[in-house]
Amino acid sequence: MTILQTSSGKGWGGVRLLILAIVAGAGAGVIAAVYTSRSLEDYAASLLEGRRLPQVSTQQPTPIPGTYEEALSRVRESARTGIAVVMPVSTDSFAAKSWLKDASALGYGAIVSDDGWVAIDASVLEGVKNPLKDIEVWMNGKRYAVQTVVRDVQTSLVVLHTSATGVSPLAFASTNGARSGEMMFVVDAFGGVFPAAVAQSDAETVSGAQPAEVFTTDWMLSASTSSLSSPLLNASGELAGFVRTGDAHALPMHQMLHTIRSVVKIGSDAVSAFGAYSIDLAHAYNIDADLRQNLRAGALIFSPDTLLHATVRGGPAAEAGFASKDIILAVDGESITETTSLAEILALYDPGDVARCTVLRAGQTMTISVTLGDASSLVY
């Protein structure tokens, strides 16, 4: 993660089953979030510990509208208040009519908190030398300067902080396990809505082991629908991801959730670390049958070469007792599947969390609990 702040800051440096709307004091704002398979009660308690959180909502996700027209109406309503426009800095003082339809727009973002945090895809900033000086963000007809820029090193996500208050954040979609053909909508702040079905979950061909925290998949949409990077909403008008500039690839919400939640709460991203090399069996080829054990999905702990251990010495996985050739099947009951990787599950945990892994070892199933570390202090 890289953070860029204004002169008052520190400079460059380091979603799922239920939706949480967290109303936090002390500048944390309201942030939409999607919960994992861990119990809501445990998660809510951890948020309340040591923090002033007047309200934790356990509202169930809104049912998907039954018709295309209903979906389109809901998407447009969400876009009306929840989409931001990233523009080059302008010295004019004209009202919104001067920038509506302005061809100089760099891209579109999603409002993710009520106190001015906006998420975008990094492609919006291509060619921008200094985001703090060179861009501004328009929300609901008003312009705001950028105060902080946080770049996620794991994905193409960038989160911007502005001086806006009282804005309406988009709800977050539960996107893990989205199926081919699921309808999505690419939207902009000017009323443009473009249908774009998920064609497939695009994956890199795995040729060997890599750190367990590395994402290997993204979404491939049915078509490239916009020349500018834009938020991707589902049929309920919830933020499902971002389409990259001039591309049919999309960054899904579940890969961004932890970063957004962390940045809005504390201004930086605390990334959890497992500390082992793994192979995603669902997207791996030419894996020995004895190693695969007839499994279609799972995370095989394995060394990338003869010079490295499968687990990082002194790291969380090694300390918990994981060994080469172990296959992780699930984490806290959340199964690793063809559409849900180990990295995507681990990304929803914080450093210090205990993850209970269901592991297949030499034909026997067991549970191994691991206390996750901090990625900033782990060296592969």
Which two tokens mark 236? 């309920």
- In terms of Cα–Cα distance, which of 79, 64, 35 is closest to 189? 79
Q: Residue type for 100, please? A: L
The lowest-confidence range among 185-194, 220-229, 231-240 is 220-229
Burial of residue 318 (number of CB atoms within 10 Å: 0-12, 13-18, 19+): middle
* Cα 28 to the center of its chain, rounded Å: 18
Reported as a single tens digit per residue, the pLDDT across 128-179 is: 999 999 999 999 989 999 999 999 988 999 999 999 999 999 999 988 767 7
In sequence order, the 6+-apart residues with CB closer than 8 A to the CB of 216 are: 203, 204, 206, 210, 280, 283, 341, 343
In CATH terms, are 2-172+242-266 and 272-377 the same topology? no
Q: How far is the C-alpha of 323 from the C-alpha of 311, rounded, in Å?
A: 7
Structure-model confidence comparison of residues 48 and 198, the more confident one:
198
Give the mean model confidence (pLDDT) for residues 193-197: 83
| Cβ count near 171 (within 10 Å) | 22
* Banded pLDDT at 69 (limits 50, 70, 90): confident
Q: List C-alpha distances in Å: 106 to 89, 123, 136, 224.
A: 11, 9, 10, 17
Class of the CATH domain delimited by 2-172+242-266: mainly beta
Do the beta carbons of residue 293 and residue 327 sit within 8 Å?
yes
What pLDDT does 147 receive?
96
* Most confident of the following: 202-211, 212-221, 250-259: 250-259
Domain boundaries, the chain: 2-172+242-266, 272-377
**Would you call 272 helix, strand, or coil by DSSP?**
strand
* Cα 78 to the center of its chain, rounded Å: 19
In the chain, pLDDT over 70 holds for what percent of residues?
Answer: 76
Residue 108 has pLDDT above 90, yes or no: yes
Which secondary structure element, helix H or strand E, spans residue 152, and what is its range?
A: none
Q: What is the pTM of this model?
A: 0.74
Q: How far is the C-alpha of 299 from the C-alpha of 310, rounded, in Å?
A: 12
Structure-model confidence comparison of residues 288 and 21, the more confident one:
288
Q: How far is the C-alpha of 19 from the C-alpha of 40, rounded, in Å?
A: 10
Q: How far is the C-alpha of 289 from the C-alpha of 296, rounded, in Å?
A: 11
What pLDDT does 62 receive?
45
Reported as a single tens digit per residue, the pLDDT across 262-319 is: 898 888 778 899 999 999 998 887 788 888 988 999 999 999 888 889 999 999 999 9
CATH for 272-377 is 2.30.42.10
Q: How many residues does the chain have?
A: 380
CB-facing half-sphere around the CA of 151: CA atoms within 13 A: 14
**Burial annotation 12-46 (CB, 10 A radius, 16+ → b, else e):** eeebbebbbbbebeeebbbbbbbbbebeeeebbee
Do the beta carbons of residue 16 and residue 35 sit within 8 Å?
yes
* Banded pLDDT at 56 (limits 50, 70, 90): very low
In sequence order, the 6+-apart residues with CB closer than 8 A to the CB of 302 are: 209, 277, 278, 279, 291, 310, 324, 325
Q: How far is the C-alpha of 36 from the C-alpha of 188, rounded, in Å?
A: 29
Q: How far is the C-alpha of 115 from the C-alpha of 119, rounded, in Å?
A: 13
Q: List C-alpha distances in Å: 321 to 125, 274, 311, 317, 326.
A: 43, 12, 9, 6, 10
Do the beta carbons of residue 331 and residue 176 sit within 8 Å?
no
